[in-house]
Structure 1
Amino acid sequence: MPPVTRKAKKEFLKEEEFEIFRRNASMLIEKMVELSCQTPKDSTVLVDEALHSIFFLGGINNPPCPPEVIITDMEILNSLKESYPKPFELYSIQLPKRHPFSCVLDMIVQVTGREKENGIKEKLKELIRQLKQDARSKILYSFTICVSYIDIPDPVKYYGVSMSTTGRTAGKIMVGASCLSAWDDDVAGAVMTYNPDKSKKKYFDGTIILPDSVRCESFKLDSGEKMNPCRSCGNLFGLQTDENTDEWPYGNCAEAESVSELLKSEHQVKEQVRARHRSDENRQKARNAVLKQLKSELENTDFKWDNNFYTPQRITY
C-alpha cells in the first residue's frame, strides 16, 4: 500500500472537520429549539439568531456546509424554514453580530435563571460533553465562561463565553462584527485598540480599567477550573493577572462579552469606565480600521456582504 501523501492527509482532515462542523451545528440547533420550548416566546429570537450565525459559519466553511447539509431531516428543515425564514434567506449576505455559542449561553441563562451560576455552568458543561466527542471536535463551542458582577450582596451576574469559531478567518470576522455591532462601545473600544497582529495602535487607546468593586472571574467550561485572566484581558480591562506569556487574540476571550453585558446594565460602573474616553477623536478612525480589516477577511471567503448586520426576528403567532 503506498504511503499517505501530505495532500491526501490534508484532504482527510478537512473532510473530518467538515463532518464535525455539520454534526455539532445540527446538535446546537436541536438544543436551541428544545430549550426555546422551556422559555417564553421571546426566546425564539435567540433561535433565529443562532440559526443565522450557524448558517453563516457554515457558508464560509471550507468546504461550505449549507443549511440543507446541516439539517438532513426534510421535515425538520421545512418546519424551521417556515418558522424561521430569515436566517435561510440572509445568511449568505448579512453578517451575524455574535457567534452561535453566545446565543446558547443566553438561552441557558433564561432557562436556568441568571442568579444560578452553578446551574448555568453545569448545563453548558453537559452540552459540551455531547459536542466534544473526540480530540478533534473543538468546533462550534466555547472553552471558557466569564462571570462579571459588582461585589455587593446578591449581585446581578453577567455572563460571557469565549469565541466558538474555528480558524483564523472566522475568528477575526466575528471579533470585528462584535466590535462593530454587538459589544458595549467601551469594550469595543478596548478591543479596537489592538491590531490583528496584537500590536497596539499608536493613534488610539480605548483600553479601560474596571473599578475595584467589579469582580470578573473566568472558568474552564469542561472542568469548572478557575482561570487567571490572560495578558490580553489584563491589557484590555486592567484585570490583575500573573500570566506573563499568554496573550490571546484580542476579543476572543469570554471577558469581552461578560464585561460588555455588565457595562450595558450597570450605569454607575459605565460612568466610571467612560471617564477617560468621552472625547477621543480617533475612535472613529479605529472603528474604520476594524471595518476595513473585516472586509479584507471577508474577501478570503465566498461571502458577499450587503453591509448589514443581521437583526434577529421573533416568531409571531
Structure 2
Amino acid sequence: MNRYVELNSKITQTLVKSSKIFIEKVFNFVVSVVKNKKLIWKRGECYLTEILHSIFFIGFIHRPKIYPEEVLQEELGLILRNKFPDAFQMYKTELPSRPPYSVLLDLVVEVTGDQNVSAVLDKLLELNADMHVPTLQEDGTVCGNDFSLASTVVSYTYFQNAHGKTRNYFGASVSCRGEKARQIFIDLSCIKTWNQNVAFAVYLASNDQESIRLPQKIYSTAYHMYNNPPSGIARPIQTYHQIRPCLKCVKCFPNIEFFPPYKNNSKVIHWEYGNCAEYEAVSKLLNTESWVNDRVEGTDLTSLQVFLQERKHRLAENLGNNQYEF
C-alpha cells in the first residue's frame, strides 16, 4: 500500500498529531520550569528521554508504523536528535517502562509538589488543553479532544495512621489506544515496573481469586477528566471530577479506603485488570514506603513467577504481531 495512503487514515493521523503536540508542549514545559528554577536540567533530560522513547515505541508498534521523522517538524526534530540521540534509536530495540502520560504525571508532581493535589490537577488540565487535538465530524462541527496519548483518569493514594501520613503517590490510567497496545503496556508494567505485590494482585483478580491484603489505612481518590466543548468553540473546557472506584479496583485492593466509596451499579467493565490509575499509584506507594510494603499479605512468589512468565509470552506474541523484534 502507498505510504501516503497508510498514514492518511483518521486513527493514524490522530496519533501522529497527538505525538507531535505532546512532544512539543512537554519540551516547552520542561524548558520553562528549568528556566524558572523549579527543575534542574538533568531531571528534565531524564523525563524527556523517557517520553520520547515511549512515544516513538507506540508509533513503531502501530499499524502502519510511524517513525520519529513523520512526527517531528524538521527544526524541533534536529534539536531533539542532538540532545537525546539515544531516544531516536532505543525505541526499536529496548522496551519502555510505562506510557508517556505516566512520565508527564511524575514530571508535574515533581514541579508542583505531591501534597498539593489541586495544583497537580490544575497543571495537568493546563497541559491537556495545550495539547488539544480537535476532531472534525462529518457535519463539519468540531468535537472534544481526540488526544490519543492522554490518561482520562488520574488518582492518588497514601498511607496514614496515628503516627503520620506518607506522601501522596499519583498514578494514571494506561494512556494509549488499541487493545493490543494497552495489553503491551500492562504486561510491561507487571514485568518490569510495578511493585510485585501489585502485579500479583492483577494475577489473582484476573483468575477470580481472593486478592492480596494491604495494610489498613491506605486511602485512594481518583479523578476522571471530562471534555465540555462549548457550542461552536473548538477548544474544550476540561475538568476533573472525583469518581468511585470500579469493581476491578475493589477486587484487586479490597481493603483500600476509597473516596468516594465503591457503589455497585452493575456497570459492565470492558477494560482488563491493570488498566486503571490506582495500580500505578499503589505501586509507587509500596515501592517507596518499604515498611508499608513489608506488611502486605498473601503474595506467593512462586505463583507470581508463573504469572509473569505467562505475561512475557503474551507480550512477545503481541510484539511479534506488530513486527517488533527484541
Q: Spell out the pairing of 1:224-239 with structure 2 (5 A cutoff).
A: 224-238=240-254, 239=256
Q: Of the candidates 151, 175, 190, which is equivalent to residue 179 of structure 1?
A: 190
Q: Pick one of 15, 24, 47 that aligns with 1:30.
A: 24
| 1:78-93 equivalence runs, <5 A | 78-93=78-93
More RCO (CA 8 Å, sep 6+): 1
Residues 141/118 of structure 1: CA separation in 2 closer, same or farther (3 Å cut): same
CA distance in 2 between counterparts of 1:155 and 1:179 reads 24
More strand per residue: 2
TM-score for both structures, normalised by structure 2: 0.81
- 1:249 equivalent in structure 2: 272
Match of 1:282, SS? helix
Aligned pair count? 285
Instruction: Using the TM superposition, give the Cα deviation of residue 183 of structure 1 relative to its aligned residue in structure 2, in angstroms.
Output: 0.7
Change (3 A) 1:192 1:13: farther
Name the residue aligned to 2:46.
45
C-alpha contact 1:192 1:206 (8 A) present in aligned 2:
no
User: What whole-Å deviation, never above 9, does each CA across 1:138-182 have from its counterpart, x for those lacking one?
Assistant: 400100111101235664100001011100110000000111111
- Paired with 2:316 and 2:282, the residues of 1 have a C-alpha distance of 26
Aligned to 1:167: 178
Once the two structures are superposed, what CA deviation does each residue of 1:99-151 show, in whole Å capped at 9, x if it has no partner?
01011101111111122210110111122223343447140010011110123
Partner in structure 1 of residue 200 of structure 2: 189
What does residue range 145-164 of structure 1 map to in structure 2 within 5 Å? 145-151=154-160, 155-164=166-175
Gaps of 5+ in 2: 34-38, 136-143, 227-238
Asked if the contact 1:60–1:303 (Cα under 8 Å) also holds between the matched residues in 2, the reply is yes
Give the residue type in structure 1 aligned to 2:224: K
Letter of the aligned partner of 1:158 in structure 2?
Answer: Y
The offset of 1:221, in angstroms, is 2.8
C-alpha distance 22-13 of structure 1, shift in aligned 2 (>3 A): closer
Counterpart contact for 2:25–2:130, Cα < 8 Å = no
Aligned match of 2:112: 112
Question: What value does the CA root-mean-square deviation take over the aligned residues?
Answer: 2.2
Could you tell me how far apart the structure 1 residues matched to 2:52 and 2:149 are? 12
Instruction: Specify the SS of the correspondent of 1:219.
Output: strand
Residue in 2 that maps onto 1:217:
221
1:285 has 2:291 as partner: no
Percent identical: 28
